[in-house]
C-alpha cells in the first residue's frame, strides 16, 4: 500500500517541478512511511525531462526490494503504483513461460509493468486485486494509468497549462491547483449540493473545482500536447438467473470466498482482521483462521446501550478460537479525532461510522500492517434492508398508470407524518426517481433553505440517471445494487476504508470485492438474495456460510460499527456542535442559523436531526481546514529519506 504523486510536463521541463513534487509528496507520508522515491524522467534524446514520479511506500510484498518508482525493460517504462495484486505469482509465472519475461524483483508491482509491456492495456483484465497505478513509456512519451474494477484504491487528477498531475489523495494536488495562486478555494457548488443529499461527494467530482477523480474501472492515457483521455475498461454486469441446484450455488459461493480470502492473505508482513457483530466480517475471520489459526482480530464500541458490538464480536472470537482486541471510545475521543479524520478524507463524508473505524484502525496498526475487512458483501449479495422495498411496493407498482397517478395525488394531500403517505409516494414513484443510494440527508426543499445559492437544476438524478441507463434490463432490486456500486460503495464505503486505514499506515484488504466473488454473486436470482416471504437479506450468502460462522451470527441484523451521534448531540457533544456552527466561516455557502435551529430541535427531542446536523458539522470542519485554513488538524509531519536524487535529461535508477 502506497501513495503516489506524478507530474507529466506539457513542455519537456519536468525537472523544474521536482522539488515542488517532492515537497507535496510529504503530505502522503502516512500512506507509505517506509520509503520515499522521487525521480525525474528524461526522454530518449536527453534534451527534455518529461515526468517527475513521486512515491511513498508501505512495504508489504518483497519488503527488501520492489522499490518505487520502478523501471522495466532497460528503463523504457517507469511505474508508480498503489495497491496489491493477489494473483501476481501466477501472472509472473505466465509471463516467464509465454514471453521469457525477466524480473528484477519478487513483488507484484513489476508484474503490472511487465504485463503492460507484453499484453498492452489488456493487462487490466488479468489483474486480480486493488490498484491505482500510472506507467510512463519513455519511448512513446505516453502515460497510461488505471484504477481497479470497484474503485478500492483512489486516483485524483489535475490538468493545468503546465501538464498533468496525478495523486493518491487530493491534498497532494492542492499546491498545484489554480486556487493555490489566486487564493480562491473554488468550492464546487454542484458537488456541495450532492454532498448535502448523499453525505459524500460522488465520483468523478470533488469539492475543489478543477480536481477530479479517475472513476472505478477506468483507465487514462496522456501524451504531451493532448488532453487526458479517460475511458472505462470495466463495467460490472449482473445477470441474475434461475438456479436449478441451490446447494451447488451455496457451495460455489463458499468455496469462492474461501479462495478469495486465501489470496488476500498473501503478505510478507502480519495480517489481521476487523471483526464486528455481523456476518460479513465474521465470515472473513472464520475463513482466514483456516490459513492462520493465530490471526488477530480487532473490534470497537461505545459505553452507550445499543451502540457497541464488542460483546458479540468477543463471543464470535471465542467460538472461532481467535483473539480479538477491543477498543472503546467516548464523545471527547470523537471530538478530538474529527479534524484529523476530515483532513485524511480530502472531501467531507458525513458517515459517523468513520469515527469508530478510525480508532479500530489505529489499534490494529499497533499490531499488524494488513487487515481484512468485509466491505462489498452487501452490494454484491443484496444485504441492505432497503433492497426489500421493491417487494413491499410491488402491489402499488403493478397498478395501472392512471390509478397510480390518482394515488400519488392522494398522497400529496395527506399531512406529513401520517401513516400511509410515504408508502403511497414511494409506491407511485419510478425507482429511477425514488432510489439514489443508502444515505438520504437533505431533501430538495430542505436544501433550498440551507444553501445560500440553491440551484434547482442540480439534482441527484444527475448522478444516478447515467447509471440507471446502463441497467434497464435488470429487475428493481438488482438495479439498486448496480446503483450502489457506482454511488454508495465507491463514494462512502471505500473512501472510508482507504483513507481511514491509510491514516494509520494500515492496509485494508476486502476479499468480498474480488472479481471471482462478483462473478458468482452476479448470477444470483432475486429470490435467493431477498426472499419474498422472509425479512432476510443476503440469503444465498448466509446459506453458503451457515457452517462457517457461529450460528447466532448467520441471521444477525447488520450494524456496521454504529455510532451514538444521536445521543451525544443531545448531550456530551451538544456544546461542541454549537461552537462549530457559531464560529464557522462557511456561512457564505450554507445557512448556519438554519442548521443551528435543527440542532436545537434535536436537543429538545422534537425531531431526530442528528444525521442532518452531522452532515453540516462535517462540512464546517472541512471548510475550516481546506478553505478558511483556520483549523490545524494536528497531523504529524514526518519525512523519510529519499531513495533517489534528481538527474536531469535521463532516467535514473
- Which sequence positions are flagged as catalytic? 2
User: In this structure, are residues 358 and 500 in contact, taking their beta carbons and an 8 Å threshold?
Assistant: yes
Phi, psi dihedral angles at 416 (to 5 degrees): -60, 140
Alpha helices by DSSP H, listed for 120-234, are 123-126, 178-182, 189-198
CA 382/CA 386 separation, integer angstroms: 9
CA 521/CA 494 separation, integer angstroms: 19
Please indicate if the annotation marks 62 as binding a ligand: no
Length of the chain (residues): 653
Q: Which triple of cell numbers denotes residue 268?
A: 510478507
Residues 6+ apart with CB under 8 A from 9: 17, 48, 49, 50, 51, 162, 163, 224
> Closest Cα partner for 143 from 11, 15, 40, 7?
7
> Closest Cα partner for 511 from 215, 287, 217?
287
Q: Which triple of cell numbers denotes residue 105?
A: 524483483
CA 262/CA 390 separation, integer angstroms: 36
Q: Is 372 helix (H, G, I), strand (E, B) or coil?
A: strand
Q: Are strands 229-232 and 218-222 parallel, antiparallel or unpaired?
A: antiparallel
Q: Which triple of cell numbers denotes residue 159?
A: 490538468
Residue 241 burial class via C-beta count within 10 angstroms: exposed 0-12, middle 13-18, buried 19 and up: exposed
CA 28/CA 498 separation, integer angstroms: 13
Please indicate if the annotation marks 168 as binding a ligand: no
CA 44/CA 87 separation, integer angstroms: 33
Q: Is 402 helix (H, G, I), strand (E, B) or coil?
A: helix
CA 5/CA 650 separation, integer angstroms: 19
> Closest Cα partner for 276 from 306, 317, 305, 304?
317
CA 293/CA 405 separation, integer angstroms: 59
Please indicate if the annotation marks 373 as binding a ligand: yes
Please indicate if the annotation marks 230 as binding a ligand: no
Angle between helical axes of 476-486 and 461-469 (0-180°, round to 10): 120
> Which residues are annotated as part of the binding site for L-glutamine?
108
> Which residues are annotated as part of the binding site for ATP?
300, 373-374
> Which residues are annotated as part of the binding site?
108, 300, 373-374
Amino acid at each position: 500500500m502506497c501513495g503516489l504523486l506524478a507530474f507529466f510536463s506539457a513542455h519537456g521541463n519536468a525537472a523544474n517541478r521536482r522539488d515542488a513534487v517532492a515537497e507535496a509528496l510529504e503530505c502522503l507520508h502516512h500512506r507509505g512511511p517506509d520509503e520515499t522515491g522521487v525521480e525525474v524522467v528524461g526522454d530518449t534524446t536527453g534534451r527534455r525531462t518529461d515526468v517527475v514520479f513521486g512515491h511513498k511506500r508501505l512495504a508489504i510484498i518483497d519488503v527488501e526490494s520492489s522499490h518505487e518508482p520502478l523501471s522495466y525493460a532497460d528503463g523504457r517504462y517507469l511505474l508508480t503504483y498503489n495497491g496489491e495484486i493477489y494473483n501476481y505469482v501466477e501472472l509472473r509465472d505466465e509471463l516467464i513461460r509465454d514471453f521469457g519475461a525477466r524480473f528484477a524483483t519478487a513483488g507484484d508491482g513489476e508484474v503490472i509493468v511487465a504485463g503492460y509491456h507484453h499484453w498492452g492495456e489488456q493487462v487490466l483484465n488479468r489483474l486480480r486485486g486493488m490498484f491505482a497505478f500510472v506507467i510512463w513509456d519513455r519511448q512513446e512519451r505516453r502515460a497510461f494509468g488505471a484504477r481497479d474494477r470497484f474503485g478500492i484504491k483512489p486516483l485524483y487528477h489535475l490538468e493545468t497549462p503546465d501538464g498533468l498531475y496525478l495523486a493518491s489523495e487530493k491534498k497532494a494536488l492542492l499546491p498545484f491547483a489554480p486556487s493555490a495562486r489566486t487564493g480562491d478555494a473554488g468550492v464546487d457548488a454542484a458537488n456541495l449540493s450532492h454532498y448535502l443529499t448523499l453525505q459524500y461527494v460522488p465520483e468523478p467530482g470533488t469539492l475543489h473545482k478543477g480536481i477530479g477523480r479517475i472513476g472505478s474501472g477506468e483507465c487514462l492515457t496522456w501524451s504531451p500536447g493532448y488532453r487526458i483521455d479517460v475511458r472505462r475498461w470495466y463495467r460490472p454486469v449482473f445477470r441474475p438467473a434461475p438456479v436449478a441446484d441451490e446447494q451447488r450455488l451455496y457451495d460455489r459461493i463458499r468455496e469462492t470466498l474461501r479462495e478469495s480470502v486465501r489470496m488476500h492473505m498473501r503478505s510478507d508482513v502480519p495480517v489481521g482482521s476487523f471483526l464486528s457483530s455481523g456476518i460479513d466480517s465474521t465470515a472473513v475471520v472464520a475463513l482466514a483462521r483456516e490459513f492462520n489459526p493465530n490471526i488477530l482480530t480487532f473490534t470497537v464500541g461505545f459505553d452507550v446501550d445499543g451502540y457497541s458490538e464488542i460483546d458479540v464480536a468477543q463471543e464470535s472470537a471465542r467460538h472461532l478460537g481467535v483473539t480479538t482486541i477491543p477498543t472503546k471510545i467516548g464523545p471527547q475521543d470523537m471530538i478530538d479525532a474529527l479534524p484529523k479524520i476530515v483532513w485524511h478524507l480530502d472531501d467531507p463524508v458525513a458517515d459517523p461510522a468513520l469515527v469508530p473505524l478510525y480508532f479500530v484502525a489505529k489499534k490494529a496498526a499497533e499490531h499488524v500492517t494488513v487487515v481484512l475487512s468485509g466491505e462489498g458483501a452487501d452490494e454484491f449479495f443484496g444485504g441492505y434492508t432497503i433492497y426489500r422495498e421493491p417487494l413491499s411496493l410491488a402491489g402499488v407498482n403493478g397498478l395501472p398508470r392512471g390509478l397510480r397517478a390518482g394515488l400519488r395525488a392522494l398522497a400529496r394531500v395527506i399531512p406529513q407524518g401520517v401513516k400511509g403517505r410515504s408508502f403511497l409516494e414511494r409506491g407511485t414513484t419510478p425507482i429511477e426517481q425514488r432510489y439514489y443510494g443508502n444515505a438520504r440527508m437533505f431533501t430538495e426543499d430542505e436544501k433550498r433553505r440551507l444553501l445560500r445559492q440553491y440551484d434547482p437544476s442540480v439534482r441527484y438524478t444527475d448522478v444516478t440517471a447515467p447509471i440507471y441507463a446502463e441497467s434497464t434490463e435488470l429487475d428493481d432490486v438488482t438495479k439498486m445494487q448496480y446503483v450502489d456500486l457506482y454511488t454508495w460503495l465507491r463514494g462512502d464505503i471505500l473512501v472510508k476504508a482507504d483513507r481511514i486505514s491509510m491514516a494509520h499506515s494500515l492496509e485494508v484488504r476486502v476479499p468480498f470485492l474480488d472479481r471471482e466473488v462478483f462473478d458468482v454473486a452476479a448470477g444470483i436470482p432475486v429470490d435467493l438474495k431477498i426472499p419474498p416471504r422472509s425479512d432476510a437479506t443476503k440469503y444465498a450468502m448466509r446459506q453458503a456460510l451457515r457452517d462457517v460462522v457461529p450460528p447466532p451470527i448467520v441471521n444477525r441484523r447488520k450494524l456496521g460499527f454504529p455510532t451514538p451521534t444521536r445521543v451525544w448531540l443531545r448531550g456530551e457533544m451538544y456544546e461542541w456542535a454549537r461552537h462549530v456552527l457559531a464560529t464557522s466561516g462557511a456561512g457564505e455557502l450554507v445557512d448556519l442559523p438554519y442548521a443551528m435551529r435543527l440542532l436545537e430541535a434535536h436537543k429538545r427531542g422534537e425531531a431526530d436531526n442528528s444525521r442532518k446536523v452531522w452532515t453540516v458539522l462535517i462540512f464546517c470542519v472541512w471548510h475550516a481546514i481546506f478553505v478558511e485554513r483556520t483549523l490545524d488538524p494536528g497531523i504529524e509531519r514526518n519525512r523519510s529519506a529519499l531513495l533517489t536524487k534528481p538527474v536531469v535529461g535521463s532516467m535514473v535508477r
